[in-house]
Amino acid sequence: MSPETAILAALAIPAVGAALIVACGRVPNLRESVTLATAGLLLATVLALLPAVLGGARPAITLFNLLPGIPLAFRVEPLGMLFALVASGLWIVNSLYSIGYMRGNDEHNQTRFYACFALALAATMGIAFSANLLTLFGFYELLTLVTYPLVTHHGDAEARRGGRIYLGYLLATSIVFLLPAIVATWAFAGTLEFRPGGILGGAALSNAALGGLLALYMFGIGKAALMPVHRWLPAAMVAPTPVSALLHAVAVVKAGVFVVVKVIVYVFGPDTLAGVRAADWLPTVAGFTILAASIVALRADNLKRRLAYSTVSQLAYVVLAAALLVPLSLVGAVLHIATHAVGKITLFFAAGAIYTAAHKTEVSQLDGIGRRMPWTMGAFAIGALSLIGIPPAAGFFSKWYMVQGAVAAGHWVALAVLSASTLLNAAYFLPIVYGAFFRPERVAPAHDHGEAPAAAVAALLVTAAATLVLPFLGTWPLALARATVGP
């Protein structure tokens, strides 16, 4: 298969898979087999592109013009390659987990769930491989629309309210901020095609204009959940846990921070922004988001709410590191897209397993549960240690590059934020782990059901293992991160 064919296949496979899932909807075993086969085929297709990208090639294909001079076009560069690998790899384990969770909780509308999940991956591949801003914008909006039925899956009043907030925030930020930013970029640069070093570097723009355009982009990329446009993320926690995992680890928020990094590297260019005083606000806003979201997480008793605000904080790590504009911090930002994904999906898988097996949703209810669910809580501990940044878990390595970047940039406030937030991460994760294993249960269960269904437990053990193994998977994650920043 040629690289160009592989790009088209990566877009088509999940879309075709969605149609087949619907066709097989009356036969659950067949439907779920199709889901797993589609996910596996997508990962194999994405992996086929990796050697060429690592070798310096940038496979590309142009289909047709969306507007005069602006084609529907795709190009695989290192940042998109990493994002596509993370999303396609985690889709497999999320699908395995979903089988155990959806059956264990006797969820309704399972066919719609699996089909929308597949369409979300098709949109994600489009975002990852977009060659220009307009192509990216189309798939970015498609991702919002196809995940809305997943957020409102339960169909009750709370789900509909959460869905309205989800759709309202993400569509409003895109239309009010992101789309005008794209139009302005076309007007200033005469192109929307992503270019190493940035397409705005040669544009005759004042510092104030560049700073204002940066603000349109950063707040227009609502999926990055930069405060104050973050409320959609905790509101979306009304969805089933596999959807929360999709939102937080596989596609949606990862699409947000991916686009943030892509805009800084390929639209503005780090060298262009480095001398713009009007852009100095971004590290401050990102740092505030990190600390404020961590404090909210610390005070949250609902486990999914705590994890949601932890995600808001962790996403802001990526924004802060990218905003420092030095190579080391940019490498850390790119790596954190992957390391946060495997750590956070493990935590959400564990939260869903706890709900399925023990019907517990609050942190205050988890004392002693590690004795009945040792595999689940052991995996939770690994994911938590990674997000805190404790070696050898993956999160340590991306945070290490961020710390080095803050020192290289001489940005001591950023260094202080990273240090303080690490302590806050420990404060809201470690008591859960300690209580689960070292405190007695407050109320003994009427029946000890043990672990969640085997498929769910197997999935969370795989992602926990990936959290430990990712730093040692050869050199390709770091190579892709460094290639994103430049030679």
Burial class of 60 by CB neighbour count within 10 A (0 to 12, 13 to 18, 19+): middle
Strand partners, 64: 72
**pLDDT tens readout for residues 99-113:** 877 777 777 888 888
- pLDDT 10s digits, 261-280: 999 999 998 988 887 787 88
Return the SS3 of 70: strand
**Please, are residues 288 and 282 in contact by the beta-carbon 8 Å criterion?**
no
- Sorted by sequence, the CB contacts under 8 Å of residue 107 that are 6+ apart come out as 101, 113, 153, 240
Residues 446 and 73 sit within 8 Å (Cβ to Cβ): no
pLDDT band (50, 70, 90) for residue 474: low
φ/ψ of 396, rounded to 5, equals: -60, -40
Residue with tokens 């460094």: 482
- Over 90: is that where the pLDDT of 401 sits? yes
For residue 131, pLDDT beyond 90: yes
**Is 55 a residue whose pLDDT tops 60?**
yes
pLDDT category at 332 given cuts 50, 70, 90 is very high
Query: To the nearest whole percent, how much of the chain has pLDDT over 90?
Result: 66
**DSSP of 81-93, one letter per residue?**
HHHHHHHHHHHHH
Cα–Cα distance, 166 to 171 (Å, whole number):
9
Closest to 305 (Cα-Cα) out of 368, 359, 223, 361: 361
Give pLDDT tens digits for 228-257.
999 988 888 777 777 777 676 678 888 999
Torsion angle (degrees, nearest 10) of CA 222, 228, 234, 236: -40
- Contact between residue 480 and residue 53 where contact means Cβ atoms under 8 Å apart: yes
Furthest-apart CA atoms within the chain: distance in Å: 71
Q: Is the confidence at residue 53, as pLDDT, over 80?
A: yes
Residues 363 and 301: beta-carbon distance below 8 Å: yes
Residue 214's closest CA among 239, 243, 181, 257? Answer: 181
* pLDDT for 36: 93
**E strands, 53-170, where?**
60-67, 70-75
**In the chain, count of helices (H) and strands (E)?**
21, 2
Beta-strand pair 60-67/70-75:
antiparallel
d(CA 47, CA 4): 13
The whole-angstrom separation of Cα 166 and Cα 162 is 6
Kindly report the average pLDDT of the chain as a whole number. 90
State the pLDDT at residue 333.
95
The Cα 303–Cα 366 span in angstroms is 10
For helices 303-323 and 252-262, angle between their N-to-C axes, nearest 10 degrees? 10
Q: Name the more confident of 422 and 208.
A: 422
Identify the CA nearest to 93 among candidates 391, 383, 324.
383
Please give the Cα distance from 204 to 188 (Å, whole number): 8
pTM over 0.85: yes
Phi/psi for 300 (5° steps) reads: -80, 130
DSSP state of 203: S
For the beta carbon of residue 44, count every other beta carbon within 10 angstroms.
Answer: 15
Cβ atoms within 10 Å, residue 113: 22
pLDDT score recorded for residue 157: 87
Residue 355 pLDDT > 60: yes
Whole-number pLDDT of residue 444: 58
Q: Residue with structure tokens 């160009």?
A: 4
pLDDT digit string (tens) for 408-447? Answer: 988 999 999 999 999 999 999 999 999 999 988 876 555 5
Pair of tokens at residue 152: 């409102």
Out of 24-28, 318-322, 398-402, least confident range: 24-28
Looking at the DSSP bridge assignments, the partners of residue 60 are 75
> What is the Cβ-side half-sphere exposure of residue 107, based on CA atoms within 13 angstroms?
26
Mean pLDDT to the nearest integer, 76-83: 96
> What is the pLDDT, as a whole number, of residue 163?
87
Give the angle subtended at the CA of 131 by the CAs of 125 and 137, to the nearest 5°: 70
Q: How confident is the model at residue 140 (pLDDT cuts 50, 70, 90)?
A: very high
- CB under 8 Å to 385, separation ≥6 — which residues? 393, 395, 429
Q: Give the confidence band of 448 by pLDDT, cuts at 50, 70, 90.
A: low
Q: How far apart are CA 45 and CA 12, in angstroms?
A: 11
Quick check: 80 pLDDT over 70? yes
Whether pLDDT at 449 is above 70:
no
Q: What is the mean pLDDT of residues 135-164?
A: 90
- The sign of the dihedral angle between the CA atoms of 385, 466, 234, 436 is negative
- Region of residue 60 (phi > 0: left; psi between -120 and 50: alpha; otherwise: beta): beta
Q: How far apart are the first and last CA of the chain?
A: 29
Q: DSSP character for 131? A: S
Helix 412-438 / helix 303-323 crossing angle, nearest 10 deg: 160
